[in-house]
Structure 1
């Protein structure tokens, strides 16, 4: 092997930039690993922002989305590009990869993605970052079970409780009545609920919510 070839093989910065050049000659798994281990942030950024092939070209489209997973999971991909992917990609494989990103900013972007699967956004309602949890609870993909658990969480911030306490009334007025009522009642009983929200819940259409809020107000 020549010195030139050996130098090229040991140059990680060439990996991402050459990935597209070898696309017709290299197996998908090899290109995936090339991108996954690349340290060339510029090339990784370019790959992250590259328009996807048309869906009519199924082979190229599938390959591109698979390779984006490698780019998304590479810590050398700039944070702003990982956030971009988290906000714009509808593909579960990419969102799952980004949902465990070391950056709370990236996980927050995943939590707000309207294309999340409900189990994925549900997992993010338990994230260590309060901002990620709050964003996930506001996502319409979040299950009512997770919303109820969020409303019962004694560490939940008052702004998120304000949102949850408005479900079925000002927010998502067509929400299932029983489920939304359960969430509002849990908000009324949460020690972090704001006085303004308590006053609102004390006038709730549901007598159960009213009583819970009035009891809390009486104890203040």
Structure 2
């Protein structure tokens, strides 16, 4: 069953409905579909159909950007998030990058996005791997605010971060030319001697 424009229902195969939504230029209907309450998971067939069709809505450029951002922020479904991760609008990609339901590989890909806001959101996502965090900490194009966030990982030793890996990230932040003076100052007081030495070398202390 699928919903028609007048609110009535008629039978339509999933593939037909998917293609109709994917190519629709009716922004209002696309917006309504994006915000529609999903069927209960107990109705597996209806739930699976609805989430599959959300992918079509997410991939349609005629879906209003605010609705694509909503889907990128609120949806936990990999098929929808992957579709939105290539959206032409960086605000949509940034919303995907910050979604905690992302798969690790997807966050990693977005941590290399050409847009700095997307990269920043990905590097702050708890799903980001330590390898990606280290690469972000080493990248001179990473903004000072994101570097300050990375510099705080494991700083106090009580946030559950792996000690060695977190220290490697903080040391890389200290050596990054885009790191600001306040972050360098904090890292010069780091509990790890390697981090302190790197920060002190940069600051000339």
1:105-127 deviations in Å (ceiling 9; x for gaps): 10111111111111111111001
Work out whether residues 16 and 35 of structure 1, in 8 Å CA contact, stay in contact via their aligned partners in 2. no
1:214 paired to 2:200: yes
Map 1:19-168 → 2, pairs under 5 A: 21-22=9-10, 25-168=11-154
User: What is the DSSP-based 3-state SS (H/G/I as helix, E as strand, rest coil) of the residue aligned with 1:215?
Assistant: helix
Retained in 1: the 8 A contact 2:155–2:190? no
Residue in 2 aligned with 1:7? Answer: none
Distance in 2 between the 1:133 and 1:47 partners?
29
Please give the alpha-carbon distance, in whole angstroms, between the structure 2 residues aligned to 1:65 and 1:18.
22
How many residues in Structure 1 have an aligned counterpart in Structure 2?
203
Quote how far apart the aligned CAs of 1:218 are: 1.1
Is contact 2:157–2:163 with CA below 8 Å preserved after alignment? Answer: no
Would the aligned equivalents of 2:111 and 2:120 in 1 still touch at CA under 8 Å?
yes
Distance in structure 2 (CA, Å) of the matches to 1:171 and 1:107:
32
Runs in 1 of length 4+ with deviation above 6 angstroms?
none
Q: Which moved more, 1:169-178 or 1:102-111?
A: 169-178
Structure 1 residues 140 and 161 mapped into 2: Cα distance closer, same or farther (>3 Å)?
Answer: same
Superposition deviation, residue 26 in structure 1? 1.5
Question: TM-score w.r.t. structure 2 length?
Answer: 0.95
Over 3 Å counting, the alpha-carbon distance change for 1:52 and 1:166 in structure 2 is: same
SS in 1 for 2:204: helix
Aligned position for 1:5: none
